[in-house]
Amino acid sequence: MSMRPLTMSDKLGGPEGPGGPEGPGNDTSLLTKTKTKTQRPPLYKVLLLNDDYTPMEFVVHVLERFFGLNHAQAFEIMLTVHKKGLAVVGVFSAEVAETKVAQVMDFARRHQHPLQCTMEKE
Ligand code: TYC
């Protein structure tokens, strides 16, 4: 029995690999990954500012009423503002921060206290 030597055209796995140029074993394609970036909305710090006239009890009440703090937390933040000049009382979305600032400013004005509340982008 005589055998001729194998050649490339016998497709048994020459330089191109088994199955020809794109066949199994010779995948030269690049993988494309799709990365989904989740967008977080910008956050805003709501700040309370110190002044010489607003009563401490009024500030504590504001913190309990509009920021959902318990009495101890409210008293602590009020004291921080009193001693340091200002404090962050919460971090919120733009819409919620704007509402809190407006509520505090309106409440202080109605009670004729000069209490100031502002917001700033984080
Ligand atoms: N400094 C005020 C006082 O001595 C108290 C105060 C605290 C006022 C916090 C404003 O945001 C404030 N009566």
Amino acid at 81: V
Euclidean distance between CA atoms 63 and 59, whole angstroms: 6
Cβ of 97 closer than 6 Å to ligand 1, yes or no, is no
Query: Measured from the CA of 56, which atom of ligand 1 is nearest?
Result: 5
User: How confident is residue 53, by pLDDT bands cut at 50, 70 and 90?
Assistant: very high
Q: Return the pLDDT at 28.
A: 60
Cβ of 54 closer than 6 Å to ligand 1, yes or no, is yes
User: Ligand 1 centroid vs 57 CA: distance in angstroms?
Assistant: 9
The model's pTM is: 0.74
The per-residue pLDDT for range 66-108, each reduced to its tens digit, is 999 999 999 999 999 999 999 999 999 999 999 999 999 999 9
In contact, 58 and 107? CB cutoff 8 Å: no
Euclidean distance between CA atoms 73 and 88, whole angstroms: 13
